[in-house]
Structure formats: C-alpha cells, structure tokens
C-alpha cells in the first residue's frame, strides 16, 4: 500500500512567534553571519525589502526598519510547540528543524473519513496559532518536502497529479548535494524527469549509491525511516519579545498570549493547573521567577490573568525583560461539580476561589486556615494550617466559646458582672504547662460580653470577647 505524506513548511517561524505588532512597523529578521535578510513582515515587503537582501540596502529603502537577529534555537523551540499543538488532532509527526513538520496521513485518513475532512481539522487547528505555512502532499517524505519547497500548495491523493508536479522539479531543489547536482548537470540531467528516465542500473554504474537511495526514497520504492515525535505531557512555552520591557504592567499583554495557549492545552486534556511558574528573562541580571497558584485549580486564561495581576502588583523588576517562559508545575484532572438546584445562591466565589484570590494578593504564606486540636487549653485549642486543608466543623467542646480568643490572656481591668459560670479547666499536666482555671461569661459596663477566668491565686484575666 502506497503511503501518503504531508509536509508543512513555516517560512517566517521566528517572525511569526515574536511578540510584536508585526504589521504596524517594518520588521525583519537578520542572519548576523551573512548580514542578509531572512524573514520580513508585510510592511517591510511593501517598502521593497526581500529575503536575501543585505542590511545596508534594506536600511536605505526603509530608514525606520526594525531589525531582530535570527536565532535558530528560537525556531526549534517554536517548532516543538507547534508539533505538540498538532499532536492533539493528528499523530505520526516528524520534526524537520528548524522550519518543517512531516505528517504521515495514511492511517489518519481512515479516522477522519478522507483527505478533505482531515485537512480542514488540521488547518483550522494551525490557524489558531496565527503562523504562516505552506504545504504539499506526496507519496514519500522527500516528494512532499520537494513539492512544498517549490509551491504552490498542493493537496491531493492523485498519484498522477503528484508525479506530474514532481517530474517538473529542477534537481537543484532536491536534497542532493551540490556535487551530485553538478555531476548530473554535466550529462544533461536538469529536471527530475530527466533523472527518472535513466535506468537505475545505469545510475548505479555511473554515480554513487547515495543517488540510487535518494531516487528510491523519493519515488517510494525504498523505505524512508523516520523518527516520529512523541510530545511530553507538559506545558512549557517560551515567548520572545521584540522590545525590552522594564514596566511590569506592559508584561500583561504578552503574558495573556501564553495564558491563552495554556487554556487550549488544559481544555483539550480536561485538566486544570494548580501552580504555574513564570520566568522573566532579563538581559543584565538573573531571570526573575514568579509563582502563580490556584487553590481550586483552573484552566481559564481570564482567571489566571487576574491572579497574575494580583500576584505581580508588588513585583519590582531588577532589569529589562526580553522574553517570557510559562510552564505548569502542578496540574490535575478537571473534576465535574454538580450543585443541588435547591441549594440556593451562595455568592460569586467558592471558598477555594476566595483563598486563591487572597493568596495572589497577599502571598501564599500569608493565608492560613484555623484547625481545631484535641488540647483543652483555649490558647492551644487551634493551630494555623494550609488553607486548602479540609477542616472538620465538629466541635468537641460543649461549653460556650467566644468568637475572638486572645493569644495570651490579659489582666482584667474592666468592671464586669458575672452572668454565667464557672466552668473549670484543669489540664496540661503532660507537658509542664499545667493550668487550673475557672472560666465565666461576664458583661462589662460598656456592654461587651467577655470570657474571663480566675486562677488559683484569685487573679482575674480576660481571655476572649464574644461577637
């Protein structure tokens, strides 16, 4: 059975993934080794700038030209992110860094019910990334790659249509080495049609075995082994900025772009994130790391954006930020929550959402819950614990207790009237902090309801206030 492949080429990958107002100002990506333009936006092209042009000529045509250095590692990282994104709708991906992806279609067409339906899903999925691409199908990886290079876009299963376009390709556009192309040109082989007319035995005799292997792989007669991509189940995205940013508020817009990607990632996996790490890459100093947390877990970009704004309110940048990295530290499955329709209106926030907001505003270590203990001494009857911890509401104390208990009892200075009591508490013998107290509920002259006690020395203390 003949295989069908699709090759995707991203000609402006670094430019498309660079955070900027791409078409408002003329912008180019420059190969700093040869000082040649390798990528340009629409505004720059309208000024007459073309790929391969020198920086001097480009600057003459457009004095206001913005120049960004080419970085192959940025494109490779972007290609990995595209592959991870496409893996959600198609399998059997092969990376051709820094600008290409090869997709094996044969098995996927059965799943999608044909090439047209499959391409509609893949192209729609790609367009959400706002990245330019060109494509072509072929019956081998080399044929799909070659047809994509020469264009125009070709999407077909028709073998004759593929062969007609393939035979018209010049051998200079193939994956053959420059030396092999020169040898073939000397004997009048200019196009692939010229090459494929030659008997394979004659090619093996007059040229090397590499040429024979290439022809076999190109035509699909030989197997072409490839390494299929298997993405990690983690979210890790890098965003390069066109301008250095030294104002915290200006980071919100590029961060929003990363959070939207996070929402898509989590939604398609039915997951929520509990903790994110935002790394602010700075040129002159070490990277700043900001931790974003959600006690209840969330996937929506809008909610993470609000939490990030609260968390970063007090952030002081120590240097200019030129890139952002966002990754998920803790995640989990999205739990369905069903509410009783007779339960009634309970406000706009759940308890965990309130905790999340407070943590973002005040800091994770500044928000705690109060949990009861088994110690009968009032000052030791509760402890501070993690706010996400479930605390039982079952009280082991039968007596009346005030809403506000002082951390340390204070000498009673108000004149009071005893209204209830005594309640004796005699305990603490096991740790050397033994107490024997008689507690009373009293009312002061100004109307306050107080919780007071008398020790064995007949001294009176204030220990709590009723609300």
218-236 tens-digit pLDDT = 988 889 999 999 887 788 8
Mean pLDDT along residues 239-266: 87
- Strand positions, DSSP E, 412-447: 416-427, 435-444
SS3 311: helix
364-416 tens-digit pLDDT = 777 887 888 877 888 888 788 877 777 766 555 566 888 888 888 999 988 98
Lowest-pLDDT range of 117-121, 277-281, 418-422: 418-422
| pLDDT in the model for residue 53 | 92
| pLDDT in the model for residue 430 | 84
Of the pLDDT bands very low, low, confident and very high (cuts 50, 70, 90), residue 453 is very high
Of the pLDDT bands very low, low, confident and very high (cuts 50, 70, 90), residue 362 is confident
Quick one: what percent of the chain has pLDDT higher than 90?
Answer: 35
- Is pLDDT at 208 greater than 70 in this prediction? yes
> According to the 3-state scheme, what is the secondary structure of 243-261?
EEECCHHHHHHHHHHHHHH
Quick one: what percent of the chain has pLDDT higher than 70?
Answer: 94
CATH superfamily membership of 236-333: DNA polymerase, Y-family, little finger domain (3.30.1490.100)
- Is pLDDT at 318 greater than 90 in this prediction? no
- Is pLDDT at 295 greater than 60 in this prediction? yes
301-311 vs 252-269: helix crossing angle, rounded to 10: 140
Q: Half-sphere exposure of residue 64, counting CA atoms within 13 Å on the CB side?
A: 6
Place of tokens 């999407």: 155
Helix segments in 113-208, DSSP class H: 115-127, 141-150, 159-167, 178-186, 192-197, 200-206
User: What contacts 134, CB < 8 A, 6 or more positions away?
Assistant: 8, 9, 11, 148, 151, 152, 153
- Is pLDDT at 107 greater than 60 in this prediction? yes
Return d(Cα 72, Cα 55) in angstroms, integer.
19
Of the pLDDT bands very low, low, confident and very high (cuts 50, 70, 90), residue 100 is very high
Return d(Cα 273, Cα 330) in angstroms, integer.
6
- β 369-372/435-444 pair status: unpaired
Of the pLDDT bands very low, low, confident and very high (cuts 50, 70, 90), residue 1 is low
Mean pLDDT along residues 95-122: 93
Q: How far is CA 288 from CA 11, 253, 284, in A?
A: 32, 18, 11
- Is pLDDT at 345 greater than 50 in this prediction? no
- This prediction has a pTM of 0.65
| pLDDT in the model for residue 296 | 80
| pLDDT in the model for residue 408 | 86
Of the pLDDT bands very low, low, confident and very high (cuts 50, 70, 90), residue 11 is very high
> According to the 3-state scheme, what is the secondary structure of 49-89?
CCCCCEHHHHHHHCCCCEEEECCHHHHHHHHHHHHHHHCCC
152-201 tens-digit pLDDT = 899 999 999 999 999 999 999 888 888 888 988 988 889 999 988 888 88
Residue 119 Cα to chain centre, angstroms? 25
| pLDDT in the model for residue 338 | 46
The dihedral built from the CA positions of residue 245, 131, 56 and 48, taken in this order, carries a sign that is negative
- Is pLDDT at 322 greater than 60 in this prediction? yes
| pLDDT in the model for residue 352 | 74
| pLDDT in the model for residue 341 | 47
| pLDDT in the model for residue 449 | 92
SS3 404: strand
56-97 tens-digit pLDDT = 899 989 888 999 999 999 899 899 989 988 988 998 999 999
């Amino acid at each position: 059975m003949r295989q069908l492949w699709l090759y995707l080429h991203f000609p402006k990958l670094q430019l498309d993934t660079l955070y900027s107002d791409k078409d408002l100002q003329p912008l180019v990506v420059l190969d700093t080794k040869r000082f040649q333009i390798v990528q340009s936006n629409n505004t720059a092209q309208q000024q007459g700038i073309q790929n391969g042009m020198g920086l001097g000529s480009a600057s003459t045509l457009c004095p206001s030209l913005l120049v960004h250095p080419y970085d192959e590692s940025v494109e490779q990282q972007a290609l990995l992110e595209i592959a991870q994104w496409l893996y959600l709708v198609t399998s059997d991906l092969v990376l051709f860094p820094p600008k290409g992806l090869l997709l094996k279609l044969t098995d996927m067409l059965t799943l999608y019910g044909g090439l047209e339906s499959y391409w509609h899903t893949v192209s729609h999925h790609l367009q959400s990334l706002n990245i330019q691409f060109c494509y072509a199908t072929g019956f081998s990886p080399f044929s799909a790659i070659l047809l994509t290079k020469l264009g125009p876009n070709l999407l077909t299963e028709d073998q004759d249509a593929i062969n007609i376009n393939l035979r018209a390709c010049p051998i200079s556009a193939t994956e053959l080495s420059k030396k092999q192309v020169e040898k073939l040109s000397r004997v009048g082989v200019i196009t692939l049609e010229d090459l494929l007319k030659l008997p394979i035995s004659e090619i093996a005799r007059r040229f090397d075995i590499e040429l024979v292997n290439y022809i076999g792989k190109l035509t699909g007669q030989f197997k072409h082994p490839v390494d299929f991509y298997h993405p990690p189940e983690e979210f890790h995205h890098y965003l390069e900025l066109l301008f250095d940013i030294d104002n915290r508020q200006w980071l919100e817009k590029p961060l929003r772009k990363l959070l939207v990607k996070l929402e898509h990632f989590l939604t398609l996996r039915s997951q929520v994130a509990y903790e994110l790490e935002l790394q602010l890459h700075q040129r002159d100093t070490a990277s700043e790391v900001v931790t974003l947390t959600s006690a209840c877990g969330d996937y929506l970009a809008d909610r993470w954006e609000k939490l990030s704004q609260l968390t970063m309110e007090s952030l002081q940048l120590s240097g200019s930020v030129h890139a952002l990295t966002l990754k998920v530290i803790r995640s989990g499955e999205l739990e369905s929550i069903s509410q009783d329709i007779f339960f009634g209106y309970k406000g706009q926030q759940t308890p965990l959402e309130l905790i999340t907001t407070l943590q973002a505003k005040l800091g994770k270590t500044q928000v705690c819950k109060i949990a009861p203990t088994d110690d009968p001494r009032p000052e030791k009857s509760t402890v501070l614990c993690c706010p996400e911890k479930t605390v039982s509401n079952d009280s082991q104390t039968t007596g009346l207790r005030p809403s506000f208990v002082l951390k340390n009892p204070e000498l009673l200075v108000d004149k009071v009237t005893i209204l209830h009591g005594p309640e004796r508490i005699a305990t603490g013998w096991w740790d050397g902090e033994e107490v024997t107290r008689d507690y009373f509920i009293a009312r002061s002259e100004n109307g306050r309801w107080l919780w007071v006690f008398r020790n064995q020395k007949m001294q009176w203390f204030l220990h709590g206030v009723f609300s």
